[in-house]
């Protein structure tokens, strides 16, 4: 920080055991964001007569004071609630700056007390999350720091180098000691390009590959029988079930040669420790829950969990037993005008929700999210956001695609301008994230905004006056019985030592033995074991054991003669965070060569008379998008790929989510961003 209180440098903490002082390229340039000339600095109101939608940027708005903004919002929410019922108010938020309080605390209290619709936050991880819980009962996984001990690492739908760079040094360390890295991805990511073996799989067919691997493991006895006997449920039925997934059957489904299925299974079954890094790529698919379940069962068959550096990691978030009830206060729903919990709206189905006339959404409050760019079926979403009878508030750092549709815009702080507490989904440390600088301009944190609004709504519960520090203490169960993982972790301790390992996840000092999450039971599942067979899912009408069905919207799907023969991957950019950073020149420069581009296999391009660099139209029933063709063997035949960006910075004013749909995955209500069919033509042909 300089004398004027301006931050001058963002750096990693060299003492952090996972990140060890280095930052990803996006955050290393974070000050570009904090002090960007186009940052939102004060509240604004849409000018009378200025239509909703892109094009006018700041000219669409006039500056107002916080008082005016909050008064107007409170007044509008009261009228909407009185006229249409409180459930016609919809909060819309996702991760934003990822701190616990910023993610969900005062905001949840506010909407619970209001009686608003509840948002089901499914857009990222709920499909895989439910899959994980159905098998293991808790979202724990191989410690990031332990990947260095692996002899085999399988990155399964996980772009480690692009999206999860802090794991990469541990992968490199393992490889220096002789480990092999295998990547299973329909796209040749940076990770795949660096791997020992890239298996290019047809999108949405991972369940077949995992079941085929099980087939080989069972057939050839590459199993840890003692581990299976002691720790798992339903093995006999699983063994019978996987007989049908012969390598040739798997080849036909996945495009992975039968010999490669054999080789992968043998490699996996014969190498210990073997670690699978699954990220959320696999589960963004119609059949994604089943695929995640099947993959996650592999280490239970080989007993990989017994070895340091073995097992699997999807997320470690289940290790953090925050007091969510104290933070979010769901009990307040009972004292709302509704007197009961509000209806639940799946955030993936925003387009539908905004078009619903029976149970209309009349006011929407967006924070921590940019749905105009990140939600699927963009045409439906934008149609909804453009409704003149919808009152929209957006709390943001920048004039995003969503802000273009706002009635009231509120400026938000960045993580440097507020205090928060953080868990993780790739490690096991609780962290205090301190405020480094004063809020820039008139920006304010989420917690402040909802506390202020609560006062203006006349909410009298004392919890609406809780300070940030009080909420941090509540999250830690301070003053109550702390769960063993958080025992002794208090705000005072964090102020002194801002990073605390979750208790009980440390290696034993006495025996020197490693802490391993699933080396033995009991497990938090109904049977107390790892569930190959799930009676719980069966009772819900789902498959008791994972099975493969080709996604309906895929080349192998029901509509084989589809007018749309190409599978489309609308992927994340390596240098943005979903849509965050996409507006910053420095980040755009890093992404050079990929902005507004459609990657296409040369043979698919040739068949359509498309040359490298040509402007092409990519379309399906949901819309059409103009992109620049980039002929590339990063994608296989039959697959094309584009990347997330801001709509208004894209050639046709729309991004890849114009092509994605509101169809859901098989579990958890998650999106099927990667089950999308399209056709491509040269933009000047008809
Ligand atoms: N640079 C960067 N880092 C990020 C983000 C970002 O936007 N940019 N986003 C953050 C967020 S919110 C998340 S959730 C994580 C997600 O991190 P990841 O889960 O790694 O994210 P994705 O890029 O969605 O998916 C990973 C890979 O899955 C591949 N894939 C698509 N379909 C299939 C399939 O059917 N089978 C298989 N095997 N692979 C498939 C994609 O091509 C992609 O390379 O990353 C975080 N980190
Ligand atoms: N096609 C396609 N679509 C996808 C994905 C994909 O891979 N492909 N990935 C999906 C995934 S995994 C995810 S997680 C979602 C992410 O979707 P979003 O959560 O909407 O993610 P971002 O695009 O990063 O937008 C977050 C916004 O919050 C703002 N923000 C940051 N911090 C704060 C804060 O403290 N307060 C407030 N009020 N605002 C803040 C940022 O400025 C940013 O504009 O996108 C999904 N959409
Ligand atoms: Mo995500």
Element (H, E) at 18: none
**Closest residue by CA, ligand 2 atom 3:** 374
Q: Of the candidates 426, 677, 584, 679, which has an alpha carbon nearest to the alpha carbon of residue 30? A: 584
CB of 660 sitting under 6 A from ligand 2 = yes
Same CATH topology for 39-121+324-422+429-473 and 566-682: the answer is no
Give the three-state DSSP class for 91. Answer: strand
How many whole angstroms from 673 Cα to the centroid of ligand 1? 11
Q: What's residue 16's pLDDT?
A: 84
The bridge status of strand 597-600 relative to strand 639-643 is antiparallel
Q: What's residue 70's pLDDT?
A: 98
Q: Can you list the residues of the chain whose pLDDT is less than 70? A: 559-561, 685-686
* Least distant ligand from the CA of 280: 1
The bridge status of strand 429-433 relative to strand 180-184 is unpaired
The closest-lying atom of ligand 1 relative to the alpha carbon of residue 278 is 19
Q: What's residue 560's pLDDT?
A: 64
Torsion of CA 155, 158, 162, 168, to 10 degrees: -40
Q: Of the candidates 278, 292, 319, 275, which has an alpha carbon nearest to the alpha carbon of residue 128? A: 292
CB of 96 sitting under 6 A from ligand 2 = yes
CB of 569 sitting under 6 A from ligand 1 = yes
How many whole angstroms from 183 Cα to the centroid of ligand 1? 13
**Closest residue by CA, ligand 1 atom 14:** 124
The closest-lying atom of ligand 1 relative to the alpha carbon of residue 574 is 1
CB of 157 sitting under 6 A from ligand 1 = yes
* Least distant ligand from the CA of 582: 2
How many whole angstroms from 125 Cα to the centroid of ligand 3? 7
Does 127-317+521-539 carry CATH code 3.40.228.10? yes
Angstrom CA distances, 516 to 382, 430, 519, 520, stand at 47, 18, 6, 9
Q: What's residue 513's pLDDT?
A: 83
**CATH class assigned to 566-682:** mainly beta
How many whole angstroms from 29 Cα to the centroid of ligand 1? 22
Q: Of the candidates 185, 23, 28, which has an alpha carbon nearest to the alpha carbon of residue 584? A: 28
Instruction: For domain 39-121+324-422+429-473, give its CATH number from 2.30.30.60, 3.40.50.740, 3.30.559.10, 3.90.1660.10.
Output: 3.40.50.740
The closest-lying atom of ligand 1 relative to the alpha carbon of residue 95 is 12
The closest-lying atom of ligand 2 relative to the alpha carbon of residue 570 is 1
**Closest residue by CA, ligand 2 atom 42:** 397
How many whole angstroms from 71 Cα to the centroid of ligand 3? 34
Domain boundaries, the chain: 1-35, 39-121+324-422+429-473, 127-317+521-539, 566-682
Q: What's residue 559's pLDDT?
A: 66
How many whole angstroms from 571 Cα to the centroid of ligand 3? 11
CB of 123 sitting under 6 A from ligand 2 = yes
Query: Which of 157, 188, 261 has the most ligand 1 atoms within 8 A of CB, as the residue to mutate?
Result: 157
Nearest 5°: CA angle at 153, between 151 and 154?
A: 145
d(CA 298, CA 282): 15
429-433 sheet: strands from edge to edge: 420-422, 429-433, 499-501
CB of 370 sitting under 6 A from ligand 2 = yes
pLDDT digits (tens, 9 = 90+) for 159-172: 999 889 999 999 99
The closest-lying atom of ligand 2 relative to the alpha carbon of residue 579 is 23
pTM exceeds 0.95 for this model: yes
How many whole angstroms from 520 Cα to the centroid of ligand 2? 37
Q: What's residue 511's pLDDT?
A: 81
**Closest residue by CA, ligand 1 atom 21:** 281
CB of 186 sitting under 6 A from ligand 1 = yes
How many whole angstroms from 249 Cα to the centroid of ligand 2? 39
Q: What's residue 335's pLDDT?
A: 95
CB of 279 sitting under 6 A from ligand 2 = no
Query: Which of 572, 582, 671 has the most ligand 1 atoms within 8 A of CB, as the residue to mutate?
Result: 572
CB of 429 sitting under 6 A from ligand 1 = no
pLDDT digits (tens, 9 = 90+) for 597-651: 999 999 999 999 999 999 999 999 999 999 999 999 999 999 999 999 999 999 8
CB of 395 sitting under 6 A from ligand 2 = yes
How many whole angstroms from 216 Cα to the centroid of ligand 3? 33
Q: What's residue 492's pLDDT?
A: 97
CB of 253 sitting under 6 A from ligand 1 = no
Q: What's residue 686's pLDDT?
A: 55
CB of 61 sitting under 6 A from ligand 1 = no
Q: Which residues surround ligand 3, an ion (CB under 5 A)?
A: 124
Give the three-state DSSP class for 364. Answer: strand
CB of 662 sitting under 6 A from ligand 1 = no
CB burial of 537-562 (b: ≥16 within 10 Å; e: otherwise) equals beeeebbbbbbbbbbbbbbbbeeeeb
How many whole angstroms from 235 Cα to the centroid of ligand 3? 33
Q: What's residue 685's pLDDT?
A: 63
512 class by beta-carbon count within 10 Å (0-12 exposed, 13-18 middle, 19+ buried): exposed
Beta bridge partners of 681: 617
CB of 277 sitting under 6 A from ligand 1 = no
How many whole angstroms from 124 Cα to the centroid of ligand 3? 4
Backbone angles phi, psi at 475, to 5 degrees: -60, -35
């Amino acid at each position: 920080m300089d004398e004027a209180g301006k931050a001058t440098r963002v750096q990693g903490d060299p003492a952090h055991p996972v990140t060890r002082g280095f930052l990803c390229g996006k955050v290393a340039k974070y000050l570009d964001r904090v002090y960007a000339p186009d940052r939102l600095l004060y509240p604004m109101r849409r000018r009378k007569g200025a239509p909703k939608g892109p094009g006018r940027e700041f000219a669409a708005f006039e500056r107002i004071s916080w008082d005016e903004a909050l008064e107007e919002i409170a007044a509008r929410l009261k009228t909407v609630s009185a006229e249409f019922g409180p459930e016609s108010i919809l909060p819309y938020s996702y991760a934003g700056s990822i701190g616990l309080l910023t993610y969900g605390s005062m905001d949840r209290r506010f909407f619970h007390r209001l009686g608003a619709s509840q948002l089901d936050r499914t857009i990222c991880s709920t499909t895989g999350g439910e899959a994980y819980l159905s098998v293991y009962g808790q979202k724990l996984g191989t410690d990031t720091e332990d990947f260095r001990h692996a002899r085999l690492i399988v990155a399964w739908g996980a772009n480690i180098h692009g999206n999860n760079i802090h794991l990469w040094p541990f992968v490199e360390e393992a490889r220096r000691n002789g480990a092999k890295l295998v990547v299973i991805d329909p796209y040749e990511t940076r990770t795949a390009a660096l791997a020992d073996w890239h298996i290019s799989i047809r999108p949405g067919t991972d369940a077949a590959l995992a079941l085929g691997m099980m087939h080989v493991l069972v057939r050839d006895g590459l199993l840890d029988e003692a581990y299976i006997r002691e720790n798992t449920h339903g093995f006999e039925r699983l063994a019978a079930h996987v007989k049908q997934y012969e390598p040739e059957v798997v080849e036909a489904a996945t495009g992975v040669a039968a010999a490669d299925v054999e080789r992968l299974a043998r490699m996996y079954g014969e190498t210990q420790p073997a670690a699978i890094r699954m990220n959320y790529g696999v589960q963004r698919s119609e059949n994604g829950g089943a695929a995640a379940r099947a993959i996650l069962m592999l280490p239970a068959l080989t007993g990989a969990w017994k070895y340091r550096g073995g097992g699997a990691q999807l997320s470690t978030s289940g290790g953090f037993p925050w007091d969510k009830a104290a933070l979010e206060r769901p009990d307040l729903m009972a004292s709302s005008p509704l007197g009961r919990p509000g209806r639940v709206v799946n955030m993936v189905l925003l387009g539908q929700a905004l078009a619903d006339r029976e149970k209309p959404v009349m006011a929407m409050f967006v924070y921590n999210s940019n749905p105009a760019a990140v939600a699927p079926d963009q045409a439906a979403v934008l149609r909804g956001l453009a409704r003149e009878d919808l009152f929209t508030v957006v709390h943001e750092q920048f004039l995003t695609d969503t802000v273009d549709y706002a009635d009231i815009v509120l400026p938000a702080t960045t993580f440097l301008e507020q205090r928060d507490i953080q868990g993780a989904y790739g490690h096991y440390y609780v962290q205090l994230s301190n405020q480094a600088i004063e809020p820039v301009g008139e920006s304010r944190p989420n917690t402040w905004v909802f506390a202020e609004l609560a006062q203006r709504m006349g909410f009298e519960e004392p919890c609406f006056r809780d300070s940030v520090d009080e909420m941090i203490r509540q999250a830690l169960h301070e003053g109550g019985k702390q769960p063993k993982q958080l025992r002794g972790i208090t705000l005072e301790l964090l102020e002194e030592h801002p990073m605390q390992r979750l208790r009980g996840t440390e290696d034993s000092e006495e025996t020197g033995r490693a802490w391993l999450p699933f080396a033995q039971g009991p497990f938090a599942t109904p049977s107390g074991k790892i569930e190959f067979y799930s009676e719980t899912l069966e009772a819900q009408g789902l498959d008791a054991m994972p099975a493969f069905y080709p996604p309906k919207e895929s080349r192998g799907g029901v509509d084989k003669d589809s007018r749309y023969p190409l599978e489309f991957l609308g992927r994340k950019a390596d240098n943005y965070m979903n849509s965050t950073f996409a507006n910053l020149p420095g980040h755009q420069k890093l992404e050079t060569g990929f902005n507004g581009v459609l990657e296409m296999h040369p043979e698919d391009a040739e068949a359509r008379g498309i040359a490298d660099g040509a402007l092409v139209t990519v379309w399906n029933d949901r819309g059409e998008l103009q992109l620049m063709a980039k002929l590339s063997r990063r994608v296989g035949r039959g697959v094309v790929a584009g990347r997330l960006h801001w709509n208004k910075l894209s050639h046709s004013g729309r991004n890849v989510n114009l092509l994605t749909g509101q169809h859901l995955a098989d579990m958890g209500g998650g999106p099927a961003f990667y089950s999308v069919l399209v056709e491509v033509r040269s933009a000047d042909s008809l």
